Structure 1
Amino acid sequence: MTKTLHHPGRRLGILSVDEGTTGTRAGVVQDSGAVTHLAYRTIAVDHPDEDSVEQDPMEIWSATLDVCREALAGARADGVEIVALALSTQRATAMLWDRRTGLPLVPACVWQDRRYARHLLGYEAEWDERLLARLGRPVGSRAPFHWAARQIAERPEVAEAYRAGTLVFGTVDTWLAWRFTGGAAHAVSASNAGSIGAYLLREHAWDREWIEQLGYPLELLPDLFADDDLGYGRTDPELLGVELPLAAVMGDQHAALIALGGLAAGQGMCMYGTGTFVDAATGRTPAMPIPGIAGVLAQPGWRQGDTTHFSLEAYCSTTGSALRWLCDDLGLFASPAEIGELAAGVGAGSGPREWFVPALAGIRTPEWRPEARAALGGLTLATTRADVARAVLDGIAHSVCDLIDGVAATMQAPFARLRVGGGVAGSDTLMRIQADLVGLPIERAADSATASLRGTAYLAGVREGLWSSLDEVVEAQPRGRIFEPTTTPDRRAAQRAAWRSVLAGYPA
């Protein structure tokens, strides 16, 4: 593709959104690939009971609209011409709304929700093998289509909208695209669809047999789009004061994989946020899960036009959210920064003395334990707050190491490169611990906090002609700080063995 939009004297940019679980940010990704005019709003997350996690779809929409307007205002004042809108979103968070009013009918069911985990266990024996071969993932602990079917069956307002033919289902990307286009687009992008648990990897189609088994009405299925699909159309000009093509819509981790350079097979990234996700590109053929390696999922990395670029992923649901819980909910520490400062003064032993398992929403890897609980153990009268802080960061780093090991084993090859990003990756102490446990150099991206925002903008910019390819813009970005391993292989092996003993022995 030629760079049709490069003209002397014009400063061009993509208005890009990163709608995460706990907040929404927007910024302008200029033709240099850098981000300016950032705006951010927090979003509440509700926990009605120990298994349910919910959000208000209207709060997500209003916060997203606010940050877009703020970023646009900054761009206009600075003379930057916005040529497209790009969206990256949290994945597998499901919503139901009424087409007539445009209003949600129930709270959104967030991707961390486990209210139907026990019910879904009943499908594993019959369906896991089939789904692993077709979808690249097992039944799992959540199923947005099953959640929607239960809402239709149990909530009168949802049932009424279904009978009236006005019920709309989608994930966060569906909701925002529907809103931005004035209801013209009702679709899920490939990278978001892969996380719903009913996407046929090789066919770019819904697994209608499995969806029917979950009780979901097939006539309510959203369209399936590529991540840079022309079908999204243009934004309603009344919303932003300008009509823009909606040029890319991606799941947040997939967008981060692009921004952090995971473009060729074996190149990987780790994003530390609410949860921590490890992804690796596997090329144009899916690398399917391997029996005995739990929690590693095959998925579309992104679909560009008619071509799918596949990836593998493993994740821990509660890492950043575990830090927030320790600080905000329990009040054990003033901030995650304090945890890092305290932990920096405690040396690593050959194995954990105090230990922390951040399984606030179960364990996926190295073994599938959906009902596992978080635990802090090994405490004595000599334990200090600094020891606990070190145990917390060690527990996060070990959990992430489990993910990295699982993805590498599934690829049947080591990572060719590992770049990291996300807010939690800003802790130098955690990064040093992580490099030692992984045994590989880790490069923290120079602008790691905006990786998802940049990645979806890069895909949009290639479609709109700002760059000739993803490689062009990604490789032009500044390199980040590298953390080298400092421990010995024997010490690393002892620490990992001690961690496996903790997982095997603590009560789930």
Structure 2
Amino acid sequence: MGAFILAIDQGTTGTTVALMDDRGELRASVTTEFPQYYPQPGWVEHDVGEIWQTVLRGIRAILRKKLCRPADIAAIGITNQRETALLWDRKNGEALNRAVVWQCRRTTGFCETLKAAGHEKMIRRKTGLVLDPYFSAAKFRWLLQNTPRIKARLAAGRVAAGTIDSYLIWQLSGGAAHVTDISNASRTSLMNLSRCSWDRELMALFEIPEGILPDIVPSSAILAHTTGIPGLPDGIPIAGVAGDQQAALFGQACFSTGDAKCTFGTGSFILMNTGSELLQSRSGLLTTAAWQLGEKGKPVYALEGGAFVCGAAVQWLRDGLQIIKTAADVEALAASVADSGGVEFVPALTGLGAPHWAPDARGTLSGLTRGTGRGHIARATLEAMALQNADILFAMESDLDKRMRPLRVDGGAAANDLLMQIQANVLGRKLIRPRVIETTVAGACYLAGLGVGLWQKQSDIRAIWQASQEFTVAMSPAARRQRQASWQAALARTLL
């Protein structure tokens, strides 16, 4: 029957459990949603007990499909929402509080205090990250200060802290392993990127006791084994772990310096492989650990940039302006006109992310005339999604001082052929859409497969990775420069 890999993709609104065979074919996947909690404006929480139940239900659902025997599962791979922070009890595995989700802004005041005290430059130098509530360190601090009976538990050595990957590995291993891989650790603001270890100066700044943090381990290696999981035999290796965006980079087989992927979701996430070189961005991007293969492998780094609003701009056309009935309608509406007719939409509906980092910016819609119709606004929206991604990718090329390879694309909006063609045109680079569009799941599976020797090297994965469609550039350099100039002018007005 062959060997199989079970993947757990633990996301912000749901958990996907999937099964991949040793040929790289995704055989099945099951997604289970769970509640979001908003106790105050700007606060977002998860009940990690509910998350764990979605994992168990997903495993049961996959096994019921009888595509393989449980004994045929050679390894488990995990990918997860990043930055979400939680504390749990080492004795019984129970969460001590709800998890503070990556989207949560409750620690904004503390981060502003650190900025005012002049700590941001040091944090950026050591971690590659901006000082922002987005990252885990300030969330850990909040939990430590707002969890009942925490002092007694700390004194007894019963407190474990971690991101979602750590918690899942703890549960899957029956409490035997408290670890996190370097990609997740690099998103906490507590890991020194150059040493790939927890930094004492940062832990002191955020008031985090070192003893509660997990050990930092490679992204691909045998990290733990299953113990006491219903339906699964004990002893299955947990052999691959990466944060969701790094897993997508690996799942797109972006193994060479200059390889990049863009995930088109509610926002867009762009990562570019920079190899073993630790680059500090000069262009407003983040530096992150991408992965480490094996105990002796060198860390691979990446530049990361995100646009806050990507597919959410289409949702706004549907729900706010109500000029389309479904998100899928935007492609046909935008294709009904040859161009945007001079309309420029800057989708700063929740501020601007990389490379501008302007949280107070607000969206603008300009260039309207009596001749402007719904189609022009729809076209301008797709062009804005592509142009803001191009800004990030050009910044990455500048930092790397190297021309990027063809861009690999994934995510829900990557199914929009017109958007993909616009993206190729304004970027001036070929786009490649993969056959397996679930790239986070694929990345977790590939990492786990490498970790147990199902595949021996990255070239084996390149051999099974397949493209579905390519989009080549169909715009002249002169037309591209003109289109970019109009976009930059609209951006400048937005940033005033």
SS in 2 for 1:196: coil
Q: CA deviation at 1:481?
A: 0.6
Identity among equivalent pairs (%): 30
CA distance in 1, matches of 2:19, 2:348: 35
Q: CA deviation at 1:398?
A: 1.8
Name 1:110's counterpart in structure 2. 101
Name 2:42's counterpart in structure 1. 51
Name 1:471's counterpart in structure 2. 459
Q: CA deviation at 1:110?
A: 2.1
Say if 1:105 and 1:157, in contact at 8 Å, map to a contact too: no
Q: Which has the larger displacement, 232-241 or 47-56?
A: 47-56
Q: Deviations over 1:338-358 (max 9, x none)?
A: 22232222332475x151414
Name 1:68's counterpart in structure 2. 59
After superposition, the Cα gap between the structure-2 partners of 1:274 and 1:43, relative to the gap in structure 1 and judged at 3 Å, is: farther
Q: Which has the larger displacement, 409-418 or 74-83?
A: 74-83
| 2:491 equivalent among 472, 484, 503 | 503
Say if 2:262 and 2:270, in contact at 8 Å, map to a contact too: yes
Name 2:407's counterpart in structure 1. 418
After superposition, the Cα gap between the structure-2 partners of 1:320 and 1:228, relative to the gap in structure 1 and judged at 3 Å, is: same
Name 1:3's counterpart in structure 2. none
Letter in 1 for 2:96: L
Is 1:357 paired with 2:351? Answer: no
Say if 2:313 and 2:347, in contact at 8 Å, map to a contact too: no
SS in 2 for 1:184: coil
Kindly report which structure 2 residues correspond to 1:25-104, keeping only aligned pairs within 5 A, or say none.
25-48=16-39, 51-76=42-67, 81-104=72-95
Say if 1:137 and 1:289, in contact at 8 Å, map to a contact too: no
CA distance in 1, matches of 2:311, 2:463: 29
CA distance in 2, matches of 1:277, 1:312: 11
| 2:268 equivalent among 270, 276, 295 | 276
Q: CA deviation at 1:322?
A: 4.7
Say if 2:272 and 2:396, in contact at 8 Å, map to a contact too: yes
Q: What stretches of structure 1 of length at least 5 have no aligned partner?
A: 1-9
Q: CA deviation at 1:43?
A: 3.7
Q: CA deviation at 1:247?
A: 0.9
Q: Which has the larger displacement, 69-78 or 129-138?
A: 69-78
SS in 2 for 1:170: strand
Q: Deviations over 1:414-469 (max 9, x none)?
A: 10232111222111121112111111110111112x11111121121122121111
Say if 1:149 and 1:217, in contact at 8 Å, map to a contact too: no
Is 1:149 paired with 2:138? Answer: no
Matched pairs, number: 492
Q: Which has the larger displacement, 151-160 or 213-222?
A: 151-160
Name 2:122's counterpart in structure 1. 130
SS in 2 for 1:177: helix
After superposition, the Cα gap between the structure-2 partners of 1:358 and 1:193, relative to the gap in structure 1 and judged at 3 Å, is: same
Q: What stretches of structure 2 of length at least 5 have no aligned partner?
A: none
SS in 2 for 1:156: coil
CA distance in 1, matches of 2:453, 2:2: 14
| 1:227 equivalent among 219, 233, 244 | 219
CA distance in 2, matches of 1:199, 1:282: 19
Letter in 1 for 2:483: Q
After superposition, the Cα gap between the structure-2 partners of 1:363 and 1:248, relative to the gap in structure 1 and judged at 3 Å, is: same
Name 2:230's counterpart in structure 1. 239
SS in 2 for 1:239: coil
Q: Which has the larger displacement, 135-144 or 403-412?
A: 135-144
Q: CA deviation at 1:58?
A: 2.6
Is 1:288 paired with 2:280? Answer: yes
Is 1:488 paired with 2:473? Answer: no
Say if 2:346 and 2:365, in contact at 8 Å, map to a contact too: yes
After superposition, the Cα gap between the structure-2 partners of 1:157 and 1:484, relative to the gap in structure 1 and judged at 3 Å, is: farther
Q: Deviations over 1:276-300 (max 9, x none)?
A: 211121222222222xx11x12222
| 1:182 equivalent among 174, 180, 184 | 174
CA distance in 2, matches of 1:157, 1:326: 48
CA distance in 2, matches of 1:268, 1:117: 31
After superposition, the Cα gap between the structure-2 partners of 1:185 and 1:385, relative to the gap in structure 1 and judged at 3 Å, is: farther
After superposition, the Cα gap between the structure-2 partners of 1:106 and 1:382, relative to the gap in structure 1 and judged at 3 Å, is: farther
Say if 1:46 and 1:53, in contact at 8 Å, map to a contact too: yes
CA distance in 2, matches of 1:385, 1:47: 35
TM-score by length of 2: 0.90
CA distance in 2, matches of 1:394, 1:159: 53
Q: Deviations over 1:161-187 (max 9, x none)?
A: 445543322111112111211222222
Say if 1:350 and 1:494, in contact at 8 Å, map to a contact too: no
Say if 2:346 and 2:494, in contact at 8 Å, map to a contact too: no
After superposition, the Cα gap between the structure-2 partners of 1:466 and 1:229, relative to the gap in structure 1 and judged at 3 Å, is: closer
Say if 1:152 and 1:162, in contact at 8 Å, map to a contact too: no
Is 1:214 paired with 2:206? Answer: yes
After superposition, the Cα gap between the structure-2 partners of 1:42 and 1:106, relative to the gap in structure 1 and judged at 3 Å, is: same
Say if 2:239 and 2:448, in contact at 8 Å, map to a contact too: yes
Q: Deviations over 1:392-423 (max 9, x none)?
A: 32222222112211211111111023211122
SS in 1 for 2:339: coil
Is 1:458 paired with 2:450? Answer: no
Say if 1:185 and 1:233, in contact at 8 Å, map to a contact too: yes
Say if 1:192 and 1:250, in contact at 8 Å, map to a contact too: yes
Letter in 2 for 1:132: R
RMSD: 2.7
Q: Deviations over 1:116-168 (max 9, x none)?
A: 33542443472333233322223234342212212322343656644554332
Say if 2:341 and 2:376, in contact at 8 Å, map to a contact too: no
Q: CA deviation at 1:233?
A: 1.5
CA distance in 1, matches of 2:17, 2:214: 25
CA distance in 2, matches of 1:146, 1:408: 31
Letter in 1 for 2:399: T
Letter in 1 for 2:419: L
Name 2:375's counterpart in structure 1. 386
Q: CA deviation at 1:212?
A: 1.3
After superposition, the Cα gap between the structure-2 partners of 1:208 and 1:329, relative to the gap in structure 1 and judged at 3 Å, is: farther
SS in 2 for 1:400: helix
CA distance in 1, matches of 2:319, 2:209: 41
